[in-house]
Chain A
Amino acid sequence: DVKVTQSSRYLVKRTGEKVFLECVQDMDHENMFWYRQDPGLGLRLIYFSYDVKMKEKGDIPEGYSVSREKKERFSLILESASTNQTSMYLCASSFPDRQYTEAFFGQGTRLTVV
């Protein structure tokens, strides 16, 4: 059974803390993605990676960075957490697009910054 696993379902951090959100996939996918989801705004792409050590900015990269040192792991980093980064964070992975690409999502991490 395919799996995208996010390290935490719920996380509470203080303003100014450095926060790491981890995502691991076991499907040997080249592509990995980080989204955030907020009420009324839907899912918005933060960053994606199409290979180890490769990354591209999505629609809302400000305040975030990412790391992809191994194919199966994609980390989202909040360098200095702020309250406006309180959100649901979703990781996804997929093969590179051929005819089509189904993306698989993790269960999400609900981050609260206080």
Chain B
Amino acid sequence: DAKTTQPPSMDCAEGRAANLPCNHSTISGNEYVYWYRQIHSQGPQYIIHGLKNNETNEMASLIITEDRKSSTLILPHATLRDTAVYYCIVRVQGAQKLVFGQGTRLTINP
């Protein structure tokens, strides 16, 4: 699986959009981009995934660059409950396991 690079920490004001970047410059054509988050004292939670098109669900939007070497997770109106560690993972379709990196610790400030 391709490695990912994320900033170790970010801050965002409550009510603003939180944009979390992820670099995956060695991603190959059959690898998907997944995002999970882990709120303190809980297990990780799936957020969203994509291959090459932008994706949106009730939690977030995922923007993948045309060359697929980077992506951005967008939380459109961040709340205090969005404070968590966010993990960007690339994973081959058909691979059974997820490999987690260090993630970005996002703090939402009131």
Contacts and interface: CB of A to CB of B under 8 A. Distances in A.
Contacts of B49: 100, 102
B32 A108 contact: no
B94 A45 contact: no
B102 A42 contact: yes
B96 A42 contact: no
Q: Which of B32, B34, B43, B98 has most A Cβ within 10 Å?
A: B43
Looking at chain A's contact residues, is the secondary structure mostly helix, strand, loop, or mixed? strand
Contacts of B87: 43
A100 B96 contact: no
Nearest to B94: A97
Contacts of B44: 43, 90, 92, 103, 105
Looking at chain B's contact residues, is the secondary structure mostly helix, strand, loop, or mixed? loop
Contact of A97 (B41, B42, B96): B96
A103 B46 contact: yes
Contacts of B36: 103
Interface in B36-94: 36, 41-46, 49, 87, 93-94
B98 A103 contact: yes
Contact of B97 (A33, A100, A104, A105): A33
Contact of B96 (A48, A59, A102, A104): A48
Interface in B2-59: 32, 34, 36, 41-46, 49
B96 A50 contact: yes
**When A and B form their complex, which 5 residue pairs have the shortest distance between CB atoms, in order from nearest?**
A105-B43, A43-B100, A102-B46, A105-B44, A42-B102
30 contacts: A4-B43, A31-B96, A33-B97, A35-B100, A42-B101, A42-B102, A43-B44, A43-B87, A43-B100, A44-B100, A45-B97, A45-B98, A56-B96, A59-B99, A90-B43, A92-B43, A92-B44, A96-B96, A97-B93, A97-B94, A97-B96, A100-B32, A100-B49, A100-B93, A102-B49, A103-B46, A105-B43, A106-B43, A107-B43, A108-B43
